Structure 1
């Protein structure tokens, strides 16, 4: 028996991985960079209502959850539906060197920007050395 396969099936599966499906939205793309004493993280969330964004930090795990819904309008027929809808989520493991107590977040033009300062305890610091008297330097034998 000759098995026929759809030559576009693999292409469709690959596209679903990057763009998602209605049941499983695509991954939330992220960039991160360090600029001096600040760590910046950028999440692409186009078309997301800012009120749907949930940002939490527990221990050293930063969690972002957001939802994008398709507007339902009476009398409007959907012709093409490719943009992923639903709940998007992403978790990042943060290093101990970041001060999550002073984390700042802003959402503008479809990008969630998170700024986290580097912890003071993680910054290099100079240690003063005091010279003791000769008695302290002697080793009893």
Structure 2
């Protein structure tokens, strides 16, 4: 016989591991001559965020840590803790050498300029 509390613990464990393996949630969009990626990283120390680009693969790694307090025993601990990472495959049309990263209110915003060769161009038609 499975008790309700045992089932709840098992369900919590399954959903907790699924949430961790899913990685950080993100939005990606282009605005003008820049490409933006907003990644949710609540509870992360901005100094501990690691951003790398290797052969057009952007990797963001961070660590969520629970504040340690003496004498505290958690009754419920649902917020995911531990390593968080996300990879994004970037287009060749982005200038990753000029990537800019900002962290505000739990959101990491990456701004990557579009290269000159990838920007829309207009061509004149010569009359015969």
> What's the TM-score, normalizing by structure 2?
0.82
What is the RMSD of the two structures over their aligned residues, measured on CA atoms? 2.6
Question: In the alignment, what sits opposite 2:77?
Answer: 81
Q: CA separation in 1, counterparts of 2:3 and 2:118?
A: 55
Question: In the alignment, what sits opposite 1:31?
Answer: 27
Between structure 1 and structure 2, the one with the greater Rg is: 1
For residues 3-53 of structure 1, the C-alpha deviation after alignment (integer angstroms, 9 at most, x for no partner) is x77895895576336533xxxx65200100111211110000001011110
How far has the Cα of 1:73 moved from its partner?
A: 1.2
For residues 59-102 of structure 1, the C-alpha deviation after alignment (integer angstroms, 9 at most, x for no partner) is 20111000011112111111111111111011100001111111
How far has the Cα of 1:130 moved from its partner?
A: 8.4
Unaligned runs of 5+ in 1: 132-141
Question: In the alignment, what sits opposite 1:117?
Answer: 113
Question: In the alignment, what sits opposite 2:89?
Answer: 93
Alpha carbons 2:16, 2:80 under 8 Å: kept: no
Structure with a larger share of its residues in helix: 2
Alignment of 1:1-141 (within 5 A): 12=12, 15-16=15-16, 18-20=18-20, 26-126=22-122
Question: In the alignment, what sits opposite 1:135?
Answer: none
Alpha carbons 1:30, 1:41 under 8 Å: kept: yes
